[in-house]
A = this chain, B = another copy of it.
Amino acid sequence: MARRPALPASLEPLSPAEDAAWRALARAVLVIPRVLDADLLQKEGLNVTEYNVLMNLSEAPERSLRMRELANYVSITMSGLTRVVERLERQGLVERVRAAADGRGQVTVLTPDGLKRLQKAWPVHLASVRRNVIDHLQGVDLEALTTALTEVASIELGPPVRRAKNT
């Protein structure tokens, strides 16, 4: 029997190893998106969100997806996605078509221009991912990492919270 039965495990401070890992991860989690974003933006004029949208469309059947699905893949809100798709549409990389099956729905289609643009950006982004991330994962067991991170990534978000106005 434990001597401190009432103390939930989560209140134990992190072990030194855990603490070190968490500090590194916390920082990496801030740095990775920033670096990749800056890199891709500078070299290809696309941010990572836009890239991911094009990417997911290119992998989808008919090179097209409903907004809802696309939002899930890219892990952003529908409202966010609306704006992203607007930007891409303005550049002619993507087209919006009312869904035949459901008059409310929009189907977003990757245009030939969009595909070209993606094909041009792809190696650049790949190189960036390699250089900035993958190349550093030498000592790490990728399979174990993948399982772990997949679990983490599948966490549900609670209901949204807005900050109180002042005080």
Contacts and interface: CB of A to CB of B under 8 A. Distances in A.
Interface string A19-49: 0111011011111111100110110010100
Interface stretch (A61-69, A96-104, A105-113, A122-130): A122-130
Nearest to A46: B163
Contact of A131 (B10, B27, B90): B10
A132 interface: yes
A161 interface: yes
Contacts of A150: 24, 27
Nearest to A52: B26
Copies in the complex: 2
Overall SS of chain A's interface? helix
Given A25-B133, A130-B10, A152-B132, A45 B157 contact: no
A42 B162 CA distance: 8
In the A-B complex, the 10 residue pairs with the smallest Cβ-Cβ separation, listed nearest first, are A24-B149, A27-B153, A10-B127, A139-B144, A42-B161, A136-B151, A28-B149, A17-B142, A21-B142, A28-B153
